[in-house]
Structures are given as C-alpha cells and as structure tokens.
Amino acid sequence: MVFTAAQIASLINAKIEGNASAGVHSFSKIEEAKEGQLAFLANPKYEDYLYTTEASIVIVNESLELKKKVKGTLLRVADAYSAFASLLAKYQELAVQQLVGIQQPSYIDPSATIGENVYIGAFAYIGENVKIGNGVKLYPNTFIGNNVSIGEGTVVYPSVTIYHQCKIGKNVTIHAGTVIGGDGFGFAPQADGSFKKVPQIGNVEIEDNVEIGANATIDRATIGSTIIRSGAKLDNLIQVAHNVEVGNNTVIAAQAGVSGSTKIGANVMIGGQAGIVGHITIADGARINAQSGVSKSIKQPRAAVTGSPAHDYTSALRSQAITRKLPELEKRIKELENLIKQLVSEKV
C-alpha cells in the first residue's frame, strides 16, 4: 500500500515542504533509505545523511535549518522522533486490526465470554469464566487461565502465559514468552533447615496502556495483588516479584529485578540490570542507573542514584573523578614526604 506525503502529514500534523504527492510504501533508516521509503531525522549527528538519502519522504524537526538542498519531501513537525513513533504505531495498528477470527485447533471453555473483532491464534487455551474484551488479539500458543479478564484492544503475543485470576487492562501489549501470575517466591524456613512453601493466593493486576517485553515474569501476590499501574513500560527479561507495585508511567529496562513488596512510584526510570531489594519504597520520578543495587528506600522525589549499594548520582561521579586521580595524588604525597625529609635533615 502506498501513502502520500499529504496523507502522512494529516496523520502527524506536519507541514509539507516539497511534493505533497510523493508516495512511500515502507520505512527505513535515513542512511539506508531508497526511493519509495520514509525515514526520519531527530538526532543531529545524522544530519549529513539528509542531503544524500534517497528517501522519498523524511520527517524532520520544524526547527531544522537546511544547509543544502534536499532531494525528497520534508514533513516538518515539533518532534520528529515522537511523530515517527506515532506513525509506526498507526501502521502497526492497521496491520493488527486485520487479524480477526478464531483459528483451529484451539480450546475455549464454554463459560468464557469473547468480545467482538477478537483474534485467537491456533493452539490457544482459554479457561473457565475468562472475559476477553472487544478487539483483543491472542497470538498462537497463548494460555489464559481461569477467571482471567483482558480489556479491549489488548495484544498478547505468542506463548504468553497468564495464570488464573489475573486482570489485564485495556490496550495492553504483552510480548512473547512472558509469564503473568506465576507463584511468588515465598518459602518459610523450618527448624530442620528445610523450607515450607507459602501458598500464593493473590493475583496480578495490569492497568491500561502498559507494555511488557518478551520473557518477563510478573509474580502473583501472596495475598492481594501485584500491580503494574497504567502507562508503565517494562523491557524484556524483567523479574517483578510478589506484591510489588509499579507506578504510573514508570519505565524499567532489561534484566532488572524488583524484590517482593517493594512500592515503586510514578515516572520512575530504572536502568538495565538494576536490582531492588524487597519491602522498600521508591519515590516518584527517581532515576536508578544501570546495574545499581538499591538496598534502602529512596524517599526524595526525582533523586538520582547509582552504584552498589546505590547512592547519590552526583556524589558518585565526584568519587569516580577522585579515584581516577589517585595515582597522581600518590605521586604528589611521596614528593611531599621526600621534601619534608630533606627539610628535616637540613635543619638537623
């Protein structure tokens, strides 16, 4: 399917600079784009490619001042990166909307309620009293346990497992291989040195507009709910333990882990491979650097921490700067020691 610059401009509220009839059929990076493709320029370090690209249409910031003539048509917007992301989302939405119907073989319990325009891929399993909203897409090999509810517009990719009693909101995206609602890690130590399993009878609640990456695990609560608040974005390979609460619009990068009963505020940013101990709180807007080990609560909103154990980010940078100067400082100390010895000997 071919889209013109004029059609695309109407979708992203762009100003057209060039041929409004120019058409594209696919996307590409600006440095590799060919005729008939659309690209975008947001990072100034790639600006040189703007003057050599073969792309028929390029989305750029409205503030960009051209240094040379451009071959293709420009679509000027306030934020090229966000506009391109919106365009990709619309493109993906069109592709997903085409998936409708129930493929066979699949199992759907007679007590389940299925909405309109739903897609259920082959080998899916849908248990008792499941409620699936309008426009939900369940890709092949998904498992939906008893009494699960899934809100309208949600997309569940292949081989996702959603255990019993869990609640999934509207317009949620869950990528392949993720497990929602597996047992939390709860074991009571016994006098003989063994461990007795603590039954995990809670659930997981995922609110609207959440995205969860591939092969993530979100454990069910011991009692109550593990909660992922609306707008949160979780990367691939993330572990969220029982009774954790992740706040609105919080983002967590790959391979991070959050231990049980920790409460993470809204708009928090957590870097890759960060680890957070259990039973603490993270204030709204906190920034946790990659590979940090957070062992105590972060009480100050918008605080930035790094290291293991994690501490103030600015202080850590100062410490690192001093550490790099240690060889020079050692040399200066030895010089001072030698000078003192010399002065003492001369006095004697």
For range 198-221, the mean pLDDT = 98
Distance between CA 278 and CA 230 in Å, rounded? 22
CATH number of 160-309: 2.160.10.10
* Residues 124-153: tens digit of each pLDDT: 999 999 999 999 999 999 999 999 999 999
Residue with tokens 């073989």: 105
% of the chain exceeding 90 in pLDDT: 84
| Domain edges within the chain | 3-97, 160-309, 323-347
Catalytic residue numbers read: 242
Confidence label for 90 from pLDDT (cuts 50, 70 and 90):
confident
Average pLDDT for the chain: 94
Q: In the chain, what is the straight-line distance between the N-terminal and C-terminal CA atoms, in Å?
A: 95
Segment 24-51, tens digit of pLDDT = 999 999 999 999 999 999 999 999 999 9
User: Is residue 341 very low, low, confident or very high in pLDDT (cuts 50, 70, 90)?
Assistant: confident
> Distance (Å, rounded) from C-alpha 52 to C-alpha 239?
44
Q: Which CATH class is domain 3-97?
A: alpha beta
**φ/ψ bin of 285: left (φ > 0), alpha (ψ from -120 to 50), beta (otherwise):** left
Q: How many helices (H) and strands (E) does the chain have?
A: 5, 40
| pLDDT at residue 348 in the model | 63
Give the three-state DSSP class for 338: helix
**Those residues with Cβ within 8 angstroms of residue 175's Cβ, 6 or more apart along the chain or in another chain:** 157, 160, 211, 212, 213, 214, 215, 216, 236
Is residue 1 predicted with pLDDT exceeding 90?
no
Give residue-wise pLDDT tens across range 241-278.
999 999 999 999 999 999 999 999 999 999 999 999 99
pLDDT for the residue 92 = 79
Q: 């346990």: which residue's tokens?
A: 145
| Average pLDDT score over residue span 294-320 | 87
Domains 3-97 and 160-309 in one fold: no
Q: What is residue 330's predicted lDDT score, i.e. its pLDDT?
A: 87
CB atoms under 10 Å from CB of 228, counted, come to 30
